[in-house]
Structures are given as structure tokens and as C-alpha cells.
Structure 1
Amino acid sequence: MISATLACVRVLERIDRAAGGLGADLALYGLSASFALVTALTSTLLPHRAWGGIAVWGYLAAFLAAALQLLLRRPAFRMSLTWAVWAGVALVPLAVQAVQRAAGRTDRAQEEVLVVEHMGERLAHTGTPYLGPDAIGALPPGEQLLGYAPYQPGMAVFGLPRAAFGDVWCTDARIWFALVTAAALVTAVRLLRSAPIRAVQFATVLPICALTLATGGDDLPVLALCLLALACCATDRYRAAGAAVGVAAALKLFALPVVAVLLVLAFTTGNLRRFLPGALGLPVLALVPAFLVDANAFVENVVRFPLGHGLVTSPAQSPFPGYLISQTLPGGRYVAAALLVAAALTVAVLLVRRPPVTAASAALFCGYGLLAAILLMPTTRFGYLLYPLAFLVWSPALAFSRPTATTAPRGDRALYRL
């Protein structure tokens, strides 16, 4: 099975490199344009439709530019084109929706944007970004869902500009999501120097990423900071890696598995003392004020609600195996939970028996582990797939960067020695 997997990977690599990578670029932009068009015409979510109506032109322009490059056999400007496309299919739609929303449109942001901005308002006025169960229960039934904030306390920082300066386009939380995302990704690419264009594309212009940033956006800074942490590990900057992934974990629980994997990597490479303060200190520092003000509110929002024990049900219900099992089998929620625990234990055993010794293998652990978790969680979203996809595609970029202090990347086969 391993040999077949490796052979499949080699075939995909040959396809990806055909015509200097331009053939795959052409397919990526063409399929993305089709996705944007279908979204603009058929999506039931109005922010998604608005994104598709703008992004389709950006993808079509990119398709034509890639076709011209392929015709002239000039792949030199692929990275510049990637950044330009990201601006056209993510940043421009985001700015347009933010401006329209500030002008009074109420259908130009997904609910998570409102939730984050409400977190900022509560933090500014009460010292905690969370409402307790009694306060949520007192809301009208149609508003109770927006009363929940299933994020770490650090996410409230993105809502502070709107709390301070009011409803103008530049205080939209998505603007600040985009700024942090851009800063982290540009820094990661500069650190790696030889980062493959495909890795950058899978964190920027891939529709699942561009759509998410333009309409909701809270996952993109978390992902970008995790990728930055991996790039820092790959270039032996473990203090910076700890700070980057620590900030990510202070924003969203999805970063905690990445923290765990990088802790093992830091331990096996002898860099734990450099990595640990930022990786664990920053999330704990973000939690302390929320716990001191109202610990029960934190537990209600961040623990009970995601686990399905809140006053209302989470809308995160994509038809992945975990959700289907929980909905169709007798005791399905417990079966799905057991499978999720089994997957987590399997990853934990692999981490102990075959610990990663390079950032590249750590990225594979993060990618495969999160993919299993997303597929098996009873409540999840299709958009969460951007995490494992990005980690898996970034692994080769990390493998060919400067090795960590004690190991050589190409000698590490942590996930393939069983």
C-alpha cells in the first residue's frame, strides 16, 4: 500500500510539473472559475453569491494569463500571478462586501463575522468576549445562535476596531483577518525562499480559501499562522514558531493539534525550551481574563456548544462520515465520538513511536490528523478542509528548506516506516 501511495504521489508530481507547472495552473484557474460561476448562480448564501459574481472574473483573467504563459512557454511570473489572483478573487470581493455592508447591506457577511465583532464589543465593555448560558437563554430564539462565540478569547481582538470606531468598512473584522493572513503568508514564503507556487496557491487562490476569506475569514489567519510556525520550524526559528502557533491557538481550538505536533517536533530536535513559552504561554495568557471574569461563560461557548450541548444546535453540519453516522445510526453520536477518539489515539501512538524530526513530517501529521478529525466530527464544516489541504501541500516546501538544527529533512520518513 505504501509503495502504491508513493507511486501515486510521483505521478501527481509529474502532472503538476508538466509544462513548468502551467498545465496544472490552467486547470486550477479554469476549475476555480467554474466553481465561482456556479456559486454566483446557485448558492443559497448571499455573501457566497456576491463573492462568486466578482471572483469568476478574477479566475477567468488568471486562466487567460496562464494560457498565454503556456503558449509562450514563459512560466517565470507564476508566483506574481498567484498573488495578483489572490487579490482579485479574495481581497477585492472582501473589500466590496465590507463597503456594501457599511452602506447598509445586511447580506454581505457570514454570521461568524458578526459573532467576532460582538466578541470585541463584549470584551471592550465587560472584560470577557462571552455571554453566559443565562444571558444567551434570555435572548430571543432567533438570536441565541449569534449569542454563542465558539472561539478562543484572542479572536475578540479582530472585533475591537468596530467596537472602537463604529460601522465603517475598514472596521469589518474580515479586513483585519486579511491583513494578518497576508502578513503571515508573505513572511512564511520569504523564510522558505523556495516555497513551491502550488503551496502558496493552496493557501490563497484555491476557492475554499478565497471564498472563506471574503465572506467569513476567521479560519484564514489561524491557518496562515500555523503555516508560518511550520516555516519557522523548518528554518530553525523555534521561538518565532512558538509565538506564531501560540497566537493561532489563542484564536481558535483548531490550532491546538498543530501545537501538540510541533511540541513533539521541538522535543525531538532539542528545541523545546525555545518553543514552549510562546506555544503554551500565549493561549494561557489569552484565557486568564476570560476565566477570571466568567469561567462558566467560557465553558458554555468554547466547550459545550461545539460538543452539541448548548441551548441551540451548531449549524456546522456538512455531510461527512461523522455527521452521517451521528444522524443515521442508533446511538450514532456516540459511535462517531468513539471513532474520533480512536483516530486521535492512533495519531498519538504514531507521534510516540515515529515522532516527526522535521517540519515537513510535522506538516504531514497535522494534515492527516486534521483530515481524519474533520471527517469524523459529528458537527463540522466543508470549509475546514482548507486546513489539511494546506498542510499536506506545504510539506514539500518545508522539506526543501534549510534543515532544522539536528536533522536532515530528506532522511525523515516518520509516517512511512510502519
Structure 2
Amino acid sequence: MQAVGWTLAAGWAAVFPLASAVPNQVFWGALAAPAYAVAALLRLALPRRIAAAAAAGAALLGAVLLPLVLLSLSGRRQSEVMVVERSADLLVHTGVPYLPHPVLASDFNPYLPMMTLFGVPRAVLGNVGPVNLLLGDARVWFAAAFLGCLLACGRLLGAGSRWRLLPPLAALTASPLIALALTGGGVDLPLIGVCCLALALAANGRALPAGLVLGFACALKWTAWPALPVAALLLWRLYGRRPAARAAGTALLASAAVILPFALTRAGVLLEQVVRFPLGLTAVPTPAGSPLPGRVLAGLGPVGHAVSLALLCLGSVAVAGWLLVRPPTGAVAACDRLAAGLTVAFALAPAGRFGYLALPTVLVLWPRLAAGRARRVAAAGPVERYGTMRVADRRTGSAARESWHG
């Protein structure tokens, strides 16, 4: 099955040099397609005990590391990355990460202030020299946050040491779903990782850390806000009202500490760029124009745009009702609820991209991969070999089973 998956990935990547009009996507496809083909061959030809790791390594090298390094050294990046890096430069020199009078779509910054953090290395290091070009690239820090959060999430779900998590994480990162986003824009990757980590912390009863992580997420991008009620209900269901209130209060205070200074001093700019522009309500159209249902409706005119917003509200109410009627009882169930809400939002919003669907997809896949690995560890017995020592870990196995069945 893995060989089939890598073969399909090779076919998907090969389409981009032929059909895409985006230069970075064409470049990625030219490197990724042969890498995926090699991964499929390795999976078939090598002994079973090393085939999966070798295939994932080949795909990771050719579809992620090589294109990311080459694109960074050549200074080629998509508009999302340029917006984040420019916002950091503006913050350093003017104290505000938003242009006051945007004219073009690339002048708008649709992200909340914390996203600027990923552009700070570019503002500090500049563009001189290969090391500065690579380490200053916001995509590198998007990827680091994504991978670090998913590793931490997996360990919280009871999957054992980080070494046990590396094979599935490498395969997920090398998949076209993540590889293309990481090498091209990657702005949603840290958001995916932070949401997974926050819900894993909540499932483990760590209310204060969960609140801090949620606050960080809610100050990155508005799409993280649905994670707050999901995490609060998860804590309430498992540990009671006080931990839920503690996490929610911490998240609100942490995010408000970042957003309020700009909301009070630049309210009009923040509303225009962070709210109205992504919803397609400004005179300058957003470049997010994939033919999702909401976008198709919005393209029919003012009536279609209104219908799109109405359906978005109805869909959000339906998901909220499901969340209240059947609150999550584990990390997997919580991630499923959040993924459903985000899928509805991305599908019915007046503007959106197919790439946004990577967020709910990873929310569904990664907790299951990590919890499934934890179940296999637990099934092997209460005593597990770790290096040259044997350690018992019944608690994490039990927590993972609860998360899986929740």
C-alpha cells in the first residue's frame, strides 16, 4: 500500500510542471515527482524492516529538503511568506506590522500580529549570504514550529519516545499535502501544529499550558479561534469546569495581550486587513480563489456572496450544535470536531484555497497516527525496551486508548 501511495504522489507532483502557472509549484513538482518515484521503488525493492524508512527518507529529501533549500537560497518565495517577512520588517521599523494604505492584494496582511514572529529572523539577518538567506526564511521557522508541535503532541498521546514518532512524521511531512505547502508558503503549518498540541495538552489535563498554547494560536490567525471552545469542552468533560475556565481564561488573556494594542491603536487597519479582506469584502479581491462552494457562490454577485456568508453561519451553528450535544472525550475526538468546523469554514467562506484543507486533514490524521502507535506500544506489554533499559508506561497507553475511542 505504501508503494502505491508514493506512486500516486509521484503522479500528482508530475502534474505541476505541466499544468501549474506558479513557478515555485513547477519547480517543486520537477524535484518531487522523481523523489516520490524513487520512494516507491525503494519500498518495493528493499527488505521490509528498512523499506518504509528508506522510502520516507528519499521522499523527504527530494520533495521537502532539496526544494526548500534551493528556493530559500535563490530568494524565491510566495506572497504569503513575503507578507510575513515584510510585516516583521514593518514592526521593527514602525512598530506596526500592517501597511496603513494597502493598494495591491500583496499589500494586505491578513494575519494576526503573532504571525509576525516568523518573519523576525529575516528582519534581523537580512538577505546577504547563503546562511542568512536560509535561516532568515520564514518557511524554515514555519516547518520547525510544525514539526516540533507534532512531536510534542505525539508524546503527549503516549506514543513513546520521539524516535518512535519520526517514521510516521517523516512520511506525513514528505506527503504532497505538506511538502508543497512547506516549500511554497507554509503559513498554515505552525497553526496546524499548535492546534494539535493544544488539544493534546487539554486531553492530558494540562489546563494552563493548553491555555498558553491556545493563546499563541489565536494570536496567529483567526482560523485558530474555533480550537478554544473545543479545548474548553474537552477539559470540562474530562476534568471539570475549573480547568476548562482556567484554560479559556489564559488563552483569552494571552491572545488579548498581543492583539489589543493594535486593535486599540489601529482598529480600522486591523478590521480591513484581517477580517474584511479574507472574507472578500474589500475593493481589492483576495488572491484566494480556488473553486470551493463558497467561492463559486460569491462569484455570482452580491446575492451569491450573501448566500455564501449565510451558509457559512448555518454550517458553523451546525458544528457548534454537534460539539455541544456530543462533547469530545479525548484528543482524537476533539481534533475531529475542530477539523469538521474548519472544513465547513473553508468550504463555505467567500474566498478560500484548496491548500487550506491541509489543516483539517492533519488534524484528523496525526492524532490517529500517534494514538495508533501508542496502542501498539501498549499491546506489546506494560514493559517496553528503550535502548538498553526497560521502562513501564501503563499510564500513557491507557491515555492513548481513551483518546482513540473518544
Give the alignment's TM-score, normalised by structure 1. Answer: 0.81
Among candidates 169, 179, 191, match of residue 144 of structure 2:
179
How much has 1:235 moved relative to structure 2?
A: 3.7
- How far apart, in 2, do the equivalents of 1:393 and 1:182 lie? 14
- Partner of 1:104 in structure 2? none
Among candidates 120, 126, 136, match of residue 166 of structure 1:
126
Q: Note if contact 2:36-2:58 (Cα within 8 Å) is conserved in structure 1.
A: no
3-state SS in 1 of match to 2:148: helix
- Partner of 2:392 in structure 1? none
Among candidates 288, 305, 309, match of residue 337 of structure 1:
309
- How far apart, in 2, do the equivalents of 1:316 and 1:279 lie? 29
When the two chains are superposed, the root-mean-square deviation of aligned CA atoms in Å is 2.6
How much has 1:152 moved relative to structure 2?
A: 0.8
- Partner of 1:67 in structure 2? 44
- Partner of 2:215 in structure 1? 246
Among candidates 372, 390, 396, match of residue 362 of structure 2:
390
- How far apart, in 2, do the equivalents of 1:358 and 1:185 lie? 17
- Partner of 2:94 in structure 1? 126
Letter in 1 for 2:17: A
Is 1:156–2:116 an aligned residue pair?
Answer: yes
- Partner of 2:262 in structure 1? 290
How much has 1:58 moved relative to structure 2?
A: 2.3
- How far apart, in 2, do the equivalents of 1:410 and 1:184 lie? 19
Residue-by-residue CA offset, 1:386-412 (whole Å, 9 max, x unaligned): 01111222343465554898x944654
Among candidates 306, 311, 315, match of residue 283 of structure 2:
311
CA shift in 2, pair 1:129/1:80, >3 Å: farther
3-state SS in 1 of match to 2:329: coil
How much has 1:161 moved relative to structure 2?
A: 1.7
Is 1:86–2:60 an aligned residue pair?
Answer: yes
Query: Which moves more between the two structures, 74-83 or 222-231?
Result: 74-83
How much has 1:78 moved relative to structure 2?
A: 3.1
Letter in 2 for 1:117: E
3-state SS in 2 of match to 1:123: helix
Paired residues, number: 371
- How far apart, in 2, do the equivalents of 1:370 and 1:202 lie? 24
Letter in 1 for 2:140: I
Q: Note if contact 2:81-2:185 (Cα within 8 Å) is conserved in structure 1.
A: yes
- Partner of 1:188 in structure 2? 153
CA shift in 2, pair 1:248/1:81, >3 Å: farther
- Partner of 1:20 in structure 2? none
Letter in 2 for 1:31: L
- Partner of 1:204 in structure 2? 173
Letter in 2 for 1:37: A
- Partner of 1:114 in structure 2? 82
Q: Note if contact 1:174-1:217 (Cα within 8 Å) is conserved in structure 2.
A: yes
How much has 1:154 moved relative to structure 2?
A: 0.5
How much has 1:349 moved relative to structure 2?
A: 1.1
3-state SS in 2 of match to 1:121: helix
Residue-by-residue CA offset, 1:287-345 (whole Å, 9 max, x unaligned): 13322442221111111211222231001111111111222377111111111111100
Letter in 2 for 1:156: T
CA shift in 2, pair 1:285/1:212, >3 Å: same
How much has 1:202 moved relative to structure 2?
A: 7.3
Is 1:100–2:74 an aligned residue pair?
Answer: yes
- How far apart, in 2, do the equivalents of 1:264 and 1:79 lie? 38
Among candidates 361, 365, 369, match of residue 341 of structure 2:
369
- Partner of 1:347 in structure 2? 319
Q: Note if contact 2:17-2:29 (Cα within 8 Å) is conserved in structure 1.
A: yes
1:26-45 map, 5 Å: 26-45=3-22
CA shift in 2, pair 1:150/1:38, >3 Å: same
Among candidates 96, 103, 107, match of residue 147 of structure 1:
107
Query: Which moves more between the two structures, 390-399 or 344-353?
Result: 390-399
Q: Note if contact 2:207-2:235 (Cα within 8 Å) is conserved in structure 1.
A: yes
Query: Which moves more between the two structures, 199-208 or 338-347?
Result: 199-208
How much has 1:273 moved relative to structure 2?
A: 4.5
- How far apart, in 1, do the equivalents of 2:109 and 2:250 lie? 24
- Structure 2 unpaired stretches of 5+: 375-395
Letter in 2 for 1:44: A
3-state SS in 1 of match to 2:102: helix
- Partner of 1:136 in structure 2? 102
Residue-by-residue CA offset, 1:79-127 (whole Å, 9 max, x unaligned): 57536633431232111101011xxxxxx21111111111001111121
Q: Note if contact 1:234-1:404 (Cα within 8 Å) is conserved in structure 2.
A: no
Give the alignment's TM-score, normalised by structure 2. Answer: 0.83
How much has 1:278 moved relative to structure 2?
A: 4.3
Residue-by-residue CA offset, 1:213-244 (whole Å, 9 max, x unaligned): 10111111111111222333344434333333
Question: How high is the sequence identity, in percent, across the aligned residues?
Answer: 35
Letter in 2 for 1:147: D
- How far apart, in 1, do the equivalents of 2:249 and 2:302 lie? 45
- Structure 1 unpaired stretches of 5+: 1-22, 102-107, 138-143, 413-418
Q: Note if contact 1:360-1:398 (Cα within 8 Å) is conserved in structure 2.
A: no
